[in-house]
Chain A
Amino acid sequence: DIVMTQSPESLAVSLGERATINCKSSQSVLKRSNNKNYLAWYQQKPGQPPKLLIYWASTRESGVPERFSGSGSGTDFTLTISSLQAEDVAVYYCQQYYSTVYTFGQGTKLEIK
């Protein structure tokens, strides 16, 4: 199975500052036939189900604020929040859907400094 490793496990950022979360896969999730990275990012707030933010590593889901962006290819990916807002406090997960066994990263808890 593909192992997804996120870093850091927790992160404290000041309001208005940039937050960066990393995700590394144990093997490439880039499919050469369509040049797409099978990587998604989710946000989960307490007591709620996860919410899709980013898919294909960099495509923002409809309705997701522009301050959220995804980048990377192959095995190394990044979720960036350009200017942290109070409502962004949450746990963030990456997930690969490249193989028939989908796997999540362990999560990154984002807090306000």
Chain B
Amino acid sequence: EVLLVESGGGLVQPGGSLRLSCAASGFTFGSYSMNWVRQAPGKGLEWLSYISGSGGSYYADSVKGRFTISRDNAKNSLYLQINSLRAEDTAVYFCVREGDGGSYSVYWGQGTLVTVSS
């Protein structure tokens, strides 16, 4: 069974930093591209970043320069470093695995909530 478990969320002050983690199990982690998607309270889905199995990455314009995606295939883990946090970064952050045959998002974690407030 594919499992994605996010952690690292919490309350952080504006301007602060946070590192989100996603522990993956039930599949060969290094063989799959991964993504981060977020959802602000009561709002829609926002795709944030992609990383291939070998480490190539892409970002949404809205987070480029502040967010850094990374992975450790030996630890079956995905990460998202978030710097210079703003109130508008308050959201649930989802870790997502792509499909076997394409870049659609098949498996989603339950998400971790990041709240940016003073």
Contact = CB atoms under 8 A, between A and B. Distances in A.
Interface of A: 1, 36, 38, 40, 42, 44, 49-52, 55-56, 61, 91, 93, 95, 97, 100-107
Interface residues of B, number: 21
Contacts, number: 60
A55 B35 CA distance: 17
A42 B108 CA distance: 11
B91 to A, nearest CB: 13
A106 B40 CA distance: 12
A55 B102 CA distance: 9
Contacts of B111: 49
Contacts of A105: 44
Given A49-B111, A55-B99, A100 B58 contact: yes
Contacts of B79: none
List 4 tightest A-B contacts by C-beta distance, closest first: A49-B108, A97-B103, A55-B104, A40-B104
Contacts of A107: 44-45
Contacts of A51: 108
